[in-house]
Amino acid sequence: MTAELQIVGATKMMAAARYHAALTDGLVLAGSRSLRDGPTAGELALEGEYNRAAQPALAELYARPIVAGLGAMMGLSEAEIVRWVLDYYGEERAAVERLGEVYQGFGRRAFNLGGQMGLEELGLFGRFEATDGWVLDEIDAQTARLTDLRRGARLSTVVTTAEEIGREVNRRREEGIEAVDLLPLLSAWALGRMVIRTAMIAATESVRMTRWGMVWAFAGNGVGGVRHVCEPDVDDKCSGKICPPLCGTEYRLGGVFHPMRGIPSAGLIPLHARCRCFYEPL
């Protein structure tokens, strides 16, 4: 593959990502005033910003290894392609770090939004902002999990992206497509995956961090326990019917400094992608 073709492919992928982000900039978002009626306007507004910020970062995560190593990938097995891509991310960390910055920045914003929602749930006035070191460390630890380069990292967007690239290159290669013809096909495929995944990431990770923030706000204001509340119409909306059995389950919080430790892993919201459950104070 020529250097000119590589540059054109990367440029088209980035331009398409910017174009899609521009199209979504002006979308009007609805929203409720209470989580009991569905996601709030504040949540949806933040998710929209999160989505737009994540799109070019995830597009870059797909594009860089493809344009840098597609020729080499054509001679590798699917598992070897995954390892090659992860090694590439480890050596050329710009794309991973850019995505990590999005996760960290919006993780903190979502946590603060959730804390504010928690104060409002308690009928308290004031402004919630995470400044304590251990809280920020917890948020940063989640960022690290989402950008982990280790092959078995379950939550890592980086690992799942490498796995997707490996599967798609292997599938197209088995169809007999040569590298020169494969690049534009991969560019279109990566754009589609970016659009779908950033929407899911923004919704899921925003919910995760807002619920953490709510619980921290509850614990910091004397609340010792929470109840799992499912989103409206949960039986129709829940992926895999995971949430309904937990509706109404009560948990004793793990104290002011580490309140989430009182909630078992099986009860940590989100329970699945796009989960909209929340906790209410007892």
Sole residue written with tokens 């308290």: 124
Looking at per-residue confidence, does 134 or 44 come out higher? 44
**Average pLDDT of span 29-52:** 83
Please check the confidence at residue 15 and state whether its pLDDT lies above 70: no
Predicted confidence at residue 1, as pLDDT, reads: 47
Count the helix, strand and coil residues of the chain and give each as a percent rounded to the nearest 5.
70, 5, 25
Predicted confidence at residue 233, as pLDDT, reads: 78
Range of lowest pLDDT (14-23, 107-116, 136-145): 14-23
**Secondary structure element (H or E) that encloses residue 8, with its range:** helix 3-24
Q: Over pLDDT 70: what percentage of the chain?
A: 87
Predicted confidence at residue 37, as pLDDT, reads: 79
Looking at per-residue confidence, does 276 or 9 come out higher? 276
**Average pLDDT of span 220-230:** 94
Please check the confidence at residue 32 and state whether its pLDDT lies above 70: no
Please check the confidence at residue 249 and state whether its pLDDT lies above 90: yes
**Average pLDDT of span 247-274:** 91
Predicted confidence at residue 256, as pLDDT, reads: 83
Q: What average pLDDT does the chain have?
A: 87
Q: How confident is the model at residue 24 (pLDDT cuts 50, 70, 90)?
A: very low
Predicted confidence at residue 76, as pLDDT, reads: 95
Q: What are phi and psi of 225, to 5 degrees?
A: -155, 165
Looking at per-residue confidence, does 37 or 158 come out higher? 158
As a whole number of angstroms, the distance between CA 99 and CA 76 comes to 27
Please check the confidence at residue 41 and state whether its pLDDT lies above 80: yes
Please check the confidence at residue 102 and state whether its pLDDT lies above 60: yes
Sole residue written with tokens 């493809």: 66
Which two structure tokens, joined as six digits, stand for 212? 């953490």
Please check the confidence at residue 120 and state whether its pLDDT lies above 80: yes
As a whole number of angstroms, the distance between CA 53 and CA 74 comes to 32
CA angle in degrees (0–180, nearest 5) for 208-209-211: 70
Sole residue written with tokens 């917890």: 138
Structural contact between residues 270 and 204, judged by C-beta atoms closer than 8 angstroms: yes
Predicted confidence at residue 242, as pLDDT, reads: 87
**Average pLDDT of span 7-21:** 48
In tens, the pLDDT along 151-194 reads 889 889 999 999 999 999 999 999 999 888 999 999 999 999 99
Predicted confidence at residue 216, as pLDDT, reads: 94
Range 129-135 contact pairs with CB under 8 angstroms and sequence separation of 24 or more: 130/213, 130/216, 134/257, 134/258, 135/111, 135/216
Predicted confidence at residue 31, as pLDDT, reads: 60
Q: What are phi and psi of 274, to 5 degrees?
A: 65, 20
Please check the confidence at residue 3 and state whether its pLDDT lies above 50: no
